[in-house]
Amino acid sequence: MRQYVLGIDIGSGSVKLTLLGNDGVIGAAVGCEYPTSYPQVGWAEQKPEDWCLAFRKAFGELVERTGIRPEMIEALFPDAATHTAVLLDERKQPIGNAIHWTDQRSGEEVEELNRNHLGEILEKTLNQPTVIWTLPQMMWLRKHEPERWGQIRHLLFAKDYLRYRLTGELGTDYIDAMGSMFYDAVGQEWSEPLCRIAGIRMDWLPRVSGPEETAGYVTKQAAEEFGLAEGTRVLTGTSDTAMEMVAAGSVEPGHATVKLATAGRICVVTEQFKQSPYLFNYRHVVPGLWYPGTATSSCAASFRWYRDSIGRESFDELCEKAQEILPGSEGLIFHPYLQGELTPYNDSSLRASYVGISSRHTTEHFTRATLEGIAYSMKDCMNVITGLGMDMSRLRIIGGGAKSGLWRQIVADVLGMSLEKTEVDDSSFGSAIMAAVGAGWYRDVREAVEACVRIRSVTHPIPEHGQVYENAFHRYRRIQQALEEIYHE
């Protein structure tokens, strides 16, 4: 009888599910959106309950579409972005909204950490404080919302909360723990000195285990609430980026991914972490490996903003028309700093801009310039990686933005590198692969990737486009330098 496993991704704006059969073939993929609230400029919050409601709705749709019985699913594996903490009270109920990882409110706390604790943080976490990390977010919360702070009894992360609702068990994995900035990545334990900086109590923190370990089983109550089969195995899970690496088949040193999603990322599989203020260091799910990477604040998020505010057509329609515009957009340059920028500036004060507008420019020019500007931000990231001497034997492009042939070509031309695209690259697919390993279908992640991951296409750079973009990139950098002083006034 055919059996299945289920990968669950709690994304920036939706829950996504991938159902994988024991023949290595995807049975179905569904999703359900939920909102993000922005109470003040630079703030971003989500309701943990919305993730659960979206999962229940998406799973119901999956069952209806496929006709499978819930008991045919052997294991579940959840993932989500790191940094987003879920705070629970003594009844294990969420205390208000979760501060999303894109939130920018903790700038002062980041300055304090960099001024007073940088050496200790770098030594223990291998990462530089910025506003995306949980530690400065918790410092902000303690300072500005003491009543809420006083109710905290447990601290989890996004995927952990859904897993808790399914199993009744509290816990997290070592990759999500690293995303907190109060976990000792070298000693692989919660750091009491780092917790003390924010006033975090050690008894709030969950047990840490490997992503592939069994965390519990679906309870009777959860089975009734979500439509699952009671007793279904639930694995611990991990971060979405770690699962994107698996979905892309990046499980050997030198394998790398370029991600065009809400944020842009370039990650490289290595045998050791790489110390840099512009890199994010995380352990890989393959023992002994790491995936240090760069990150931008707004990648596909910039294109979504452009579509909703200026383009006012579908992504496909915008891209089709922009193909008629020559590379370089006739001098129009976009900086995608809608929420500041991470690599290579770590500067939340930077802002987006279009520079070089003339009467010749049309909506199609603005569309292409937006895609090109985001590609330039990825080149900024790539320059950090190559500057550190990190070896890349293979580059695969992933994320929602990678579906666009035009955007893939622009990124290949700007980076000057060939880009492979797999048939499926969503993190929920990576989670389904990990669930298959947990169910015992494969010996390890490498064997599972060999069986399940397939290449769809390869995009090669066009040399004559590359020279145009090289010149434009130099202007992009000079414009950023010129405007930086203004944004800091």
Going from the first residue of the chain to its last (489 residues), give the mean pLDDT of each consecutive group of 10, the final group possibly shorter.
94 95 95 95 95 98 97 98 97 98 94 97 95 97 98 98 98 98 97 97 98 97 98 98 96 97 94 92 96 93 95 96 97 95 91 97 98 98 95 94 97 98 96 97 97 97 97 98 93
Please tell me whether residues 162 and 44 are part of one structural domain.
yes
Q: Which of 182, 215, 236 is the last residue of a domain?
A: 236
- Give the global pTM: 0.92
Domain that holds residue 278: 248-422+454-488
* 3-state secondary structure string across 280-302: ECCECCCCCCECCEEECCCCHHH
Query: Shortest CA distance to 404 belongs to which of 421, 380, 392?
Result: 421
Residue 362 lies in a domain: yes
Residue 241 lies in a domain: no
Query: Shortest CA distance to 410 belongs to which of 387, 377, 441?
Result: 377
Cis ω for the linkage preceding 344 (within 30 of 0): yes
Please tell me whether residues 178 and 270 are part of one structural domain.
no
Residue 109 lies in a domain: yes
Please tell me whether residues 347 and 404 are part of one structural domain.
yes
Residue 439 lies in a domain: no
Q: Which of 179, 212, 236 is the last residue of a domain?
A: 236
How buried is 159 (Cβ within 10 angstroms: 0-12 exposed, 13-18 middle, 19+ buried)?
Answer: buried
The CA-based diameter of the chain, rounded to the nearest angstrom, is 66
Please tell me whether residues 28 and 68 are part of one structural domain.
yes
- Three-state DSSP at 29 gives strand
How buried is 64 (Cβ within 10 angstroms: 0-12 exposed, 13-18 middle, 19+ buried)?
Answer: exposed
pLDDT at 339: 86
Instruction: Please tell me the total number of residues recorded for the chain in this structure.
Output: 489
Residue 226, number of CB atoms within 10 A of its CB:
19
Q: Which of 205, 236, 267 is the last residue of a domain?
A: 236
Tokens read off for 101 = 């990882």
- Three-state DSSP at 33 gives strand
Taking the C-alpha atoms of residue 28 and residue 57, their distance in angstroms, rounded to an integer, is 15
Residue 458 lies in a domain: yes
Tokens read off for 148 = 């809420």
Please tell me whether residues 350 and 257 are part of one structural domain.
yes
Residue 470 lies in a domain: yes
Please tell me whether residues 329 and 186 are part of one structural domain.
no
pLDDT at 42: 87
In angstroms and rounded to an integer, the radius of gyration of the C-alpha atoms of the chain is 22
Query: Shortest CA distance to 385 belongs to which of 262, 238, 276, 231?
Result: 276
Please tell me whether residues 231 and 262 are part of one structural domain.
no
Please tell me whether residues 326 and 178 are part of one structural domain.
no
Taking the C-alpha atoms of residue 166 and residue 459, their distance in angstroms, rounded to an integer, is 41
pLDDT at 489: 87
Residue 334 lies in a domain: yes
Residue 85 lies in a domain: yes
The answer to whether 162 touches 52, Cβ cutoff 8 Å, is yes
Query: Shortest CA distance to 255 belongs to which of 386, 400, 396?
Result: 396
- Summarised one tens digit per residue, pLDDT across range 190-212 is 999 999 999 999 999 999 999 99
pLDDT at 158: 98
- Nearest 5°: the CA angle 166, 168, 171 is 95
The answer to whether 349 touches 313, Cβ cutoff 8 Å, is no
The CATH number given to whatever domain includes residue 119 is 3.30.420.40
Tally helices (H) and strands (E) across the chain. 17, 23
The answer to whether 451 touches 442, Cβ cutoff 8 Å, is yes
Please tell me whether residues 211 and 277 are part of one structural domain.
no
Please tell me whether residues 368 and 225 are part of one structural domain.
no
Please tell me whether residues 221 and 279 are part of one structural domain.
no
Sign, Cα dihedral of 355, 409, 306, 267: negative
Taking the C-alpha atoms of residue 10 and residue 427, their distance in angstroms, rounded to an integer, is 9
User: Which CA distances in Å does 152 have to 122, 184, 188, 199, 206?
Assistant: 27, 22, 24, 11, 13
Taking the C-alpha atoms of residue 84 and residue 116, their distance in angstroms, rounded to an integer, is 24
Please tell me whether residues 169 and 309 are part of one structural domain.
no
- Three-state DSSP at 230 gives coil
Give the count of domains, the chain: 2
Residue 354, number of CB atoms within 10 A of its CB:
18
| Residue 139: alpha-carbon gap to chain centroid | 23
In the chain, the amino acid numbered 75 is A
